Structure 1
Amino acid sequence: MTRVVIFGNSGSGKSTRAKALASDNNLAHFDLDTIAWLPTSPPQRRAIAESISLLDQFLSQNNNWVIEGCYSDLLTAVLPFTEEIIFLNLPIESCVSNAKQRPWEPHKYESKAAQDANLNMLIKWISQYATRSDTFSKAAHEKLYSEFEGKKTMFTSNQASE
């Protein structure tokens, strides 16, 4: 079995890396953004219990997978089933640069224009990564990484790993 979790700041390359890993290894790919938010404007988090129920459905239907997201509260629920984690711990400047070059994500936005309209908010969000104390923060991700006892890799740039 192959079961991998990829996490990090917004713009760190989680989706790009997860899609490549899924394609190269014939894994089911699951983006936690698809279950973390209600389809409302402004965005509102779905109840954690409901998100975890949707995550459990994915896990019950797939033996080999890669799951990606920045939600340590949801990742905690899947880590007991995970063989490997990858923490994309890139500098904030790299995440901002990646966000500015992000291709349209049709599973998140109705159009590229709608996605681009959200870019300034996203850049502000990315920039707060090291100072936030929420489930999306660098501190929450570092805790996940340090407490995981299986195979783990940390990338601090788009190319290098530690």
Structure 2
Amino acid sequence: MKIILLGNAGSGKSTLAKRLLDRQPAARLSLDRVAFREGAERRPLAESVAEVRRFIDTHRHWIIEGCYADIIEAILPACEELIFLNPGIEACAAHCRSRPWEPEKFATREAQDAHLEALIAWVRTYETRDDDYGLSRHRALFDGFLGRKMELYDPSEYASMLGLE
């Protein structure tokens, strides 16, 4: 298993990764971990890609999840399956509001909640952004990938579409 999960913040990437890992043990990497230095400063792309390649080289089975098209594009040839989670803006915003505390990203639940409205505002620009985090870039990656791929629209059907139920 060598899967990349691509989609907007709140699209269900982390939740689906956990469900896939229940079926088959594998290493999991959230690209959030390699994309930034302390705070909101983006690392140089080459550093992030090198770290992801080290991860890929040290694990036989893996799931990588994120919204960083620039990083994903560099490692896409290593994956066996690309899954594009595209449930729409409202579903993503609702998931952001209901997500549990992510201690790997925030020191406290309060710190996470303090960033929530900014995150949701960012999520709502997904369809109009022309950066590496936006729909147009994700769509281009997905459409250009020649391997096994799947686009999922309804979070309530993610598990059944992948045979996880």
TM-score range, shorter chain: over 0.9
Partner Cα distance (1:73, 1:27) in 2: 24
Q: Alpha-carbon deviation of 1:19?
A: 1.7
What TM-score, normalized by structure 2, do the two folds share?
Answer: 0.93
1:17-69 deviation digits (Å, cap 9, x = unpaired):
012212321111110000001113xx110110111111111011101100000
Q: 1:114-160 CA deviation, whole Å, 9 max, x = no partner? A: 10000010000000000000000000100011011111111111134
State the AA in 2 paired with 1:46.
Answer: R
Matching residue of 2:128 = 131
Tell me if the contact between 1:87 and 1:154 (Cα under 8 Å) persists in the aligned partners. yes
2:114 counterpart residue number = 117
CA distance in 2, matches of 1:7, 1:79: 11
Could you tell me which of 46, 49, 58 is aligned with 1:52? 49
Secondary structure at 1:114 match in 2: helix
For 1:69-88, what aligned pairs fall within 5 Å after superposition?
A: 69-88=66-85
Partner secondary structure for residue 123 of structure 1: helix
Alignment-mate amino acid for residue 143 of structure 1: A
* Aligned equivalent of 2:63: 66
Q: How does 1:1-162 map to 2 (within 5 A)?
A: 2-40=1-39, 43-160=40-157
In the alignment of these two chains, the number of paired residues is 159
SS across alignment from 1:152? strand
Return the alpha-carbon distance in structure 1 between the equivalents of residues 55 and 19 of structure 2: 19
Moved over 6 A (4+): none
For residues 12 and 121 of structure 2, the distance between their equivalents in structure 1, rounded to whole angstroms, comes to 17
Relative to the length of structure 1, the TM-score reads 0.95
Aligned residue for 1:19, secondary structure, equals: helix
Which 10-residue stretch deviates more, 112-121 or 15-24?
Answer: 15-24
Deviations 1:75-133 (A, max 9, x none): 01111011001100111000000000010111111111110000010000000000000
SS at match of 2:156: coil
What is the rounded CA distance, in whole Å, between the counterparts of 1:145 and 1:160 in structure 2?
Answer: 20
| Structure 2 CA distance for aligned equivalents of residues 89 and 129 of structure 1 | 10
Amino acid paired to 1:10: A
Structure 2 residues not aligned, in runs of 5+: none
User: Runs of 5+ in structure 1 lacking a partner?
Assistant: none
Partner SS for 1:45:
coil
Report the AA paired with residue 49 of structure 1: A
